Chains A and B, each alone.
Chain A
Amino acid sequence: MTNRARLLLAALALAGCQAPPPPAPPAELSIEIVSGYASRPPVPAPEAERVELLVDVTASLRAGTAGAERFRAARRAASRFLTQVPAQTRLGVRALGVGPRDGCQSPTLLTGGRRERTRAGLAARVDSLQPAGEGSLAVALAELRGELVASGELRRSRVVVFTDLGSECGGDLCTAAELLIDDGVRLDFVVLGDAAAPACFAELPVPEPPADPPPLLPSPGFQIVAYDPGPEREPFLLAEGSADGTRRRVPAGPVTVLLGFEPPSLIGPLVLSPGTWTHIRVVEFPALDPPVREWAWSTFPLAAGARAPR
């Protein structure tokens, strides 16, 4: 806080005791403020990334010419990818469609087996996957989400799905994807075949603010003061309120505006001419690097119907 502001604030504490100034022709004054964040938003601490692979080898991936069926492309793409995942990255691999032939089954977890402890072993396992049963991609993603939630590993997870987008077992793929994205998970679909991606994919994520956005700076209070014309030049309060754009009637003459920011801002001295309206615009971004505080004022005649330009 500047010395001038301190002095002014201290003097204002006594302002109630000061005699009001002699009546003067009226003027009007308003203050409009637009602002950014009140403080710099928090930055989440970085966490090690986790990658989850879901390899779809359900019956629809048998499509394709003999020897070049889609499931071969899916498992080849998946095994190639997983061998490129950095060794320090936590990796989970699930296969959909390798379970029993009857009904729609959940995916089978491949990681964790003795032979699959190394990436090479895991890649070999993926490369040998054969379509056997059916399963819903949407349900598989929902189950995967549940497991990640349970293990507390949703954040910083990325999920890669190798699929032909077949939907023999139904399920709402859009909702499953949206839930994961809402949890902060990034999704990659590697599509084998010509199936069109669901239209909802182009609309995800829904444009909305991140959870718990930091508040913007609220409009501060302000005080409009004038100075006693005497040799002591004591300030006395003319008006006060919230800087919300409301026009306030004050005596014409020289005034100073004190805005209750931290630190406070002094605007002025301004000379308010009789029969005029002075509109002060303030832009305040304390969390910007570097912080920005700007103001400008315009004066308009107090004619009937006079309005500040938008």
Chain B
Amino acid sequence: MLDARSALQGLGLAAALLALAALPAQARECAAWPGEPHPLPRVGDGNPLLARWAELRAEELAQHAEAIEASAAVAAHRVWQHVLCLDPGDGAARKGALRTQPLRVHRPDVQIGSGAGDDPPDTDLWRSLDAPVLIAARTPAPAGAGAEAGAAGRGDSLGQIDRWLAEAEAQLEAARFEQALATAGKARAGLAALPPGGALASRQLRLELVEATAEAARGRDDAARACFARVLALEPAFTLDASTTSPKLMRLLDAARAQTGAAR
């Protein structure tokens, strides 16, 4: 039986997507720039003139942000953020803001191995900062301690996986969808490395919900649907609370259910 509380924790996050997908964290501080109408209009503004202005202004700034990204990434980030203020649903602007993020925090998994030269290469220099760090173990485990070490190791791993899941959920709440996916990826790798059983299923469910929510927010509906399909494989009767979950997520879950033939 799955841990319902853990699953519900994930559902709360799913519900939060309703607001987060439409409103970036920065939108809280969307002030008009010099010369712009105040308060800053948005695409879809009730005034057709201002709505059209917001649409064209977002396009103009997006062109500018793209042009300066290679030479002034931080300035481009600010412009992308402003585009998101004008048009919170602009996926390209969201990608641009992530691409040009001026401050990132990486938390690579530290693994202890037999040698320190075995780090998996990552062709992307900056993404490699998230790759696991392998350091050589200096002290061999005492003889006969294998089983205890195994049990302790599993406990440590579960603790680490829980931290990753909590971090991914926090990132999701902060609308940092790509970071949430990266952190969830670590949790997925951690889960895959453990033998099945124990309390893995509830963690797997949390993981799938985080990924489904983040993928849906990023507009990758197929990936989100695949996550929901895995949720249904774990818990065929799984449902989301329609009163607190975005209609988009509800639709994706229903689509996954129709595909997998899982019972409601």
Contacts and interface: CB of A to CB of B under 8 A. Distances in A.
Contact of B128 (A73, A81, A177, A187): A81
Contact of A189 (B56, B105, B133, B137): B105
Contact of B103 (A40, A194, A204): A204
Contacts of A19: none
A15 B238 CA distance: 78
B143 interface: no
A115 interface: no
Contacts of A211: 75
B64 A41 contact: yes
Given A44-B71, A67-B139, A209-B33, A310 B46 contact: yes
Nearest to A67: B138
Interface in B110-133: 110, 112, 116, 119, 121-122, 125-126, 128-129, 133
Interface stretch (B47-55, B213-221, B228-236, B249-257): B47-55
A62 B30 CA distance: 43
Contacts of B29: 207
7 contacts: A32-B49, A77-B133, A84-B121, A181-B103, A184-B72, A185-B74, A207-B85
Interface in A100-127: none
Contacts of B110: 68, 70, 73, 192
A188 interface: yes
Contact of B74 (A37, A186, A192, A213): A186
Contacts, number: 162
A190 B72 contact: no
A76 B116 contact: yes
A281 B74 contact: no
Contacts of B91: none
A61 to B, nearest CB: 12
A292 B104 contact: no
B67 to A, nearest CB: 5
A34 B53 contact: yes
A186 B105 contact: no
A148 to B, nearest CB: 14
B105 A201 contact: yes
Given A187-B102, A210-B78, A283 B133 contact: no
What range describes how many residues of B lie at the interface?
Answer: 35 or more
A13 interface: no
Given A66-B138, A68-B112, 4 more contacts: A73-B108, A81-B128, A205-B74, A207-B31
Nearest to A51: B125
A130 to B, nearest CB: 14
What range describes how many residues of A lie at the interface?
Answer: 35 or more
Interface of B: 25-26, 29-31, 33-37, 46-50, 52-53, 56-57, 59-60, 63-64, 67-68, 70-75, 77-79, 81-82, 85, 101-108, 110, 112, 116, 119, 121-122, 125-126, 128-129, 133-139, 163, 174
A181 B50 CA distance: 32
Interface of A: 32, 34-37, 40-41, 43-47, 66-68, 70, 72-73, 76-77, 80-81, 84-86, 155-156, 160, 177, 181, 184-192, 194, 197, 201-202, 204-205, 207-211, 213, 215-216, 281, 283, 285, 287-289, 292, 294, 309-310
Contacts of A192: 108, 110, 133
B31 to A, nearest CB: 7
Contacts of B53: 34-35, 283
B82 A289 contact: no
B79 A210 contact: yes
